[in-house]
Amino acid sequence: MNQDDSKKFKITFIFFLILLFFIILVGALVHIVNSHKRLPRLTIVETDKALRGDILSRHHFTIASSKKLYKAVVDTRNIDPAKKELFIELFCKYSNMPKEKIREKIDSKRGFVTLTYKLDSKSARYVEQLSSMLFKLKVITSYTDLVSHRTFLHGLEVRESGEYRIHPLGSTLTPVIGYVRKHEENRYTKITGRYGLEKYYEKELEGLQSTEIKGRRDVRNHIILDDESKVQNRYDGYNVVTSISIKLQKYLEAILDRHKERLQAKEIIATVMESQTGDIVAIGSSRRFTPGHIEDADSLTISAIRYIYEPGSVMKPIIFSLLLRDKKVALDEVIRTYNGRFMLGHKQITDEHKEPYMSAENVIVHSSNIGMAQLSQRLDALSYFQGLRQFGFSRPTGIDLSYELPGSIPDIHSLKNSIFKATASYGYGIKVNFFQLLQAYNIFNNNGKMLTPTIGKYLASEEKKQVIFHKKPQQVLSPRIARTMQNILIKTVQKGTGQNAITPGLLVGGKTGTAQIAVHGLYEKIYNNSFFGFANDKKHRYTIGVTVIEPNPKGAGHFASSSAVPVFKDIVDVMVQEKFLTPLR
């Protein structure tokens, strides 16, 4: 080999040595990078999810609130095989989870296993205490990965898994409270309002900002709080404080349950409202459900805003007040009532209270269909239509419940017809919901002003209190006409169809309504009975409504005077008992 060949050989050899070194260096770097991927992170992030706000009574009793759920996670490779049964025994005691279920979970996988997703906050604290104990007892031991040759020590960890809604008062205030639905968001179970108050106040109740803590980790994968840690504060959703009195609410529901059985009714609805504020003090239905155990989807429906019906004679005072407003009637004028039978065109109209003549005022007191049929003709179609609209019919009341149905009234063209005018005046051919009637009757007890019925009173957080604003009152009737109607309704209770509602020492007024129900366009011998009115003392005014849906017509349920009025009277008696009202002695 000459000198040039020798030189070339040396250069080639050195080149391959350098190339080999470079390949080894690159391989080592790749190995280090991959090894670091398997190393525990030096910094970790812990989150404390914001909770949905509570729904509270006026006295801050909890109606609905959210609690957190936690999950327990363990790396089965860190459980000493010789002490597996001890781990199962201890975890069973601290979590109340069956041993068989724990064993099944541990044996199902080698690596990270979620033992349960359903620990409440109390059980979660116990399991966190157990985690420390397992290290001391050496039930949890280190594990060396055969691939990376790294040693790992993962203890029993407790992590947030979601939230759930609790209802300490059971079925109280259902279905008005509404319900929530669960959904997964980044492996966390969240809840969203789907109906009632839960739906209406969804944006206010929803958690605003979760806590986020960033910092270095310790050997047990717990965060170290020091100067380098970064913390983002948690802001839960607002609490919705309602105007509901839980004591009166429970009494109200018991009254409805008792009368539903007495009357063999499909359902009874009742509400008590503060006349000068529109605040709902109690709202009840005899058809309720137990949250978390819903068996019948129909029980979720809030009939007070979703059940649309012909109201019957409770419409008479409303039409009469329009006649007074337009100066179309005088209280003392005499109206011929034809001894209880009258033909209007081809339609026969009848009265239960048969008289040849009545004063215009007594047309309301004794609930004369014949009198109202004639008086209603004095309103022109436009005044009739606009009057009904001004009283709130055919449009939602705006109560803070989701999915309110507006009902309907005859159009202006129909109201040019004398039959439509007549039948609408005593509550047929017009469709309403319960709260529309309550809102309308409140006008008589609130100096002619119409208010929006409301359940939510204000929003509250740790930092502040925020009043819930609603529509401004509307002056529908003059105070003078409102007082006139109030006096007529008081006389209706004292001398007319509402005498069973009398409570000595209180100003009680109201009007009954008994309406046949149409099935497939034909009126059957089934009824809805109502009584809407008020009960006042020197300091307080309450508007109260009762509707009995389809009572047994063969018993006391045929007329409102023997079905809805006794329910009203029992509610007033309880309000006296509980000092909401104080009769004059």
Q: What is the pLDDT along the chain (585 residues), one digit of tens a residue?
A: 555 666 666 677 676 777 777 777 766 666 655 554 444 455 655 566 888 999 999 999 999 999 988 889 999 999 999 999 999 999 999 988 999 999 999 999 888 998 988 888 888 888 888 988 998 899 998 888 777 778 878 889 888 888 999 999 999 999 999 999 988 887 788 899 999 999 999 999 998 665 555 556 555 555 555 555 555 666 789 999 999 999 999 999 999 999 999 999 999 999 999 999 999 999 999 999 998 777 677 778 999 999 999 999 999 999 999 999 999 999 999 999 999 999 999 999 999 999 999 999 999 999 999 999 999 999 999 999 999 999 999 999 999 999 999 999 999 999 999 999 999 999 999 999 999 999 999 999 999 999 999 999 999 987 778 888 778 999 999 999 999 999 999 999 999 999 999 999 999 999 999 999 998 888 999 999 999 999 999 999 999 999 999 999 887 778 999 999 999 999 999 999 999 999 987
Name the residue among 501, 509, 503, 565 with its Cα closest to residue 534. 509
- Give the domain ranges of the chain: 44-94+112-147+159-242, 246-288+303-577
Phi, psi for residue 431 in degrees, rounded to 5:
-120, 130
* Distance of alpha carbon 2 from alpha carbon 287, whole angstroms: 110
Tell me the pTM.
0.84
CB 270 within 8 A of CB 434: no
For tokens 């109030």, what's the residue?
486
Give me the CATH topology for the region 44-94+112-147+159-242. Answer: Penicillin-binding protein 2a (Domain 2) (3.90.1310)
Domain 246-288+303-577 has CATH 1.10.3470.10: no
CB 45 within 8 A of CB 214: yes
Residue/partner pairs of 446-449 with CB below 8 Å, 24 or more apart = 446/275, 446/276, 446/473, 446/482, 446/541, 446/543, 447/479, 447/482, 447/483, 448/475, 448/476, 448/477, 448/478, 448/479, 448/481, 448/482, 449/473, 449/474, 449/475, 449/476
